[in-house]
Amino acid sequence: MRRLEELWGSDLSIQAPSIVLFGHRRMGKTSILQNLGKRFGRDTIVVHFTMQRVGRVEATWELLHAAALEIHDTLVDAGIKEIGEPDEDTFTDHPYRAFNRFLSHVRRAVGERRVILTVDEFEAIEQGIAEGRIEVELLNYLRGVLQGERWLVLAFAGLHTLEEMAADYWNPLYGSVHPVRVGFLSWQDAADLLANPSVDFPLDFTRATVDRVYDWVRGQPYLTQLIGHSLVTRYNRQVFESGQPREARFTVEDVDA
């Protein structure tokens, strides 16, 4: 989040670079995208567009129309209702022209605000290109959009950087998109996640307990969170369901159990 704040800044009049969050599965990339709105405030509108949710796209126009619908619905939810719902027929006939026209309406409606369009599981676009369902020209088009629409930022999330994808496909976007790696937690970050998941968390961890968790999962975010959740669930069963007396502190033995 700090890296994104450095890249995007608070001056909405300056064009912010688009980014790609990359890392192994279950590292928290989607969680980062879902929390962008909380971090960047009301002058930034975040549109969550997930390739997995869109499903199998059979043509470029389907992808652009689905993205336009998601932008439209998010803006309506944010109280911006001056934009008409994108018409499917116009996208079928002239997808790029229709999306350009839609973006011009959005630009006027959002005013001084910034829109971040997240594209989760973006490898599905490359798969669609490889299978001939999506035009490779789409990526050249997206570069033009990013250069021409100062209010719009793309935030891709996936397993790889653009350079690690097929070079012929993604080359047009290399200079426009910054890679941001989502990696393993440090020991201290893992300790904070386990022992201080909220300001009023009533249970405690010994240092040896944190060491045991870290030795097992090496700071993998999802597994660290899962162990913490499992420890709390086990504690609640012992204390509240079985009535077993115990101190409000987790030990190495709890982790082993």
Measured distance CA(221)–CA(228) in Å, rounded: 11
pLDDT by residue, tens only, the chain of 257 residues:
899 999 998 888 888 999 999 999 989 999 999 999 888 888 999 999 999 888 889 999 999 999 999 999 999 999 998 899 999 999 999 999 999 999 999 999 999 999 999 999 999 999 999 999 999 999 999 999 999 999 999 999 999 888 888 667 788 888 889 999 999 999 999 999 999 998 899 999 999 999 999 999 999 999 999 999 999 999 999 999 999 999 999 999 999 99
Q: Determine phi and psi for 28, rounding to 5 degrees.
A: 110, 10
Question: What predicted TM-score, i.e. pTM, was given to this entire model?
Answer: 0.86
pLDDT digits 0-9 by tens, 131-160: 999 999 999 999 999 999 999 999 999 998
- Count how many residues are written for the chain: 257
Residue 189 token pair: 């970050």
User: Count of alpha carbons within 13 Å of 6, Cβ hemisphere only?
Assistant: 5
Measured distance CA(46)–CA(74) in Å, rounded: 8
Q: What is the pLDDT of residue 166?
A: 67
- Reported as type and span, the H/E element at residue 6 is helix 2-8
Residue 227 token pair: 């162990």
pLDDT digits 0-9 by tens, 189-210: 999 999 999 889 999 999 999 9
- Computed over every residue of the chain, the mean pLDDT equals 92
Measured distance CA(128)–CA(105) in Å, rounded: 28
Q: What is the Cα 110 distance to its own chain's centre?
A: 22
* 125, 134 contact by CB (below 8 A): yes
